[in-house]
């Protein structure tokens, strides 16, 4: 069954601790942290201290998506702060294998993400080394964008390419009940959802609906 990783980029930053606690009660599977540096993408979010502080209030896996230049510098910060998965962008890495190995040195899962316009085949040289592939279904940098349906053919390409390899496929961007079904039908493993969860009055109901369930 698909897992839901609410992105706290869409949460109320004035009460992040309460938001984290609510997500766990609502049966979220992971918590997604979009880390932005204002260079790789035109937005800035939060540093590792936020993760470290929030880790005290949740037993959920912390799924960190680095949208930053020079991910090699950032990886140790977020690994030490409590990340369980760290994903970096192929477009931002000078040496992807070194970055993958650096993440794994901390005993956590390593992922690679690509932008919508990056050739999907560019990720194939690394499929023997990574645990997760994050397909961006919007241009990274801001929440609330419309889902790019081209992501579905990219997911299909990856499914056929990785075959029986134990690689998680995650999709991020424009996820709502309609696009979640399209991704579920494409056999995605994790859906990252921001506004679809946090703009709801009932987090548990929203998460179940994204999974194709009902309360």
Catalytic residues: 34, 172
Comparing CA positions, the residue from 178, 204, 207, 202 lying closest to residue 192 is 207
The Cα 96–Cα 144 span in angstroms is 29
Take residue 159 and report the two structure tokens written for it: 């499914």
Comparing CA positions, the residue from 153, 163, 158, 150 lying closest to residue 134 is 158
Burial of 178 from C-beta contacts in 10 A (0-12 / 13-18 / 19+): exposed
CA-only gyration radius of the chain, Å:
16
Three-class DSSP labels, 51-73: HHHHHHHCCCEEEEEEECCCHHH
Q: With residue 190 as reference, give the H or E element that holds it.
A: strand 190-193
Cβ atoms of 7 and 193 within 8 Å: the answer is: yes
């Amino acid at each position: 069954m698909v897992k839901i990783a609410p992105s706290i980029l869409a949460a109320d930053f004035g009460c992040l601790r309460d938001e984290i606690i609510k997500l766990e009660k609502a049966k979220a599977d992971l918590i997604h942290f979009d880390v932005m540096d204002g260079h790789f993408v035109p937005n800035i979010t939060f540093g590792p201290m936020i993760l470290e502080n929030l880790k005290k209030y949740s037993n959920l896996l912390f799924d960190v998506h680095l949208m930053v230049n020079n991910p090699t510098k950032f990886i140790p910060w977020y690994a030490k702060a409590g990340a369980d998965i760290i994903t970096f962008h192929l477009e931002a890495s000078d040496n992807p294998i070194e970055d993958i190995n650096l993440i794994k040195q901390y005993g956590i899962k390593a992922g690679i993400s690509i932008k919508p316009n990056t050739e999907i085949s560019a990720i194939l040289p690394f499929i023997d080394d990574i645990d997760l592939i994050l397909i961006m279904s919007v241009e990274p940098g801001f929440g609330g964008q419309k889902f790019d349906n081209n992501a579905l053919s990219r997911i299909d390409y990856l499914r056929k390419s990785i075959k029986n390899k134990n690689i998680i496929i995650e999709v991020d961007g424009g996820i709502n009940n309609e696009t979640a079904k399209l991704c579920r039908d494409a056999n995605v493993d994790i859906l990252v959802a921001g506004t679809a969860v946090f703009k709801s009055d009932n987090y548990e109901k929203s998460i179940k609906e994204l999974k194709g369930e009902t309360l």
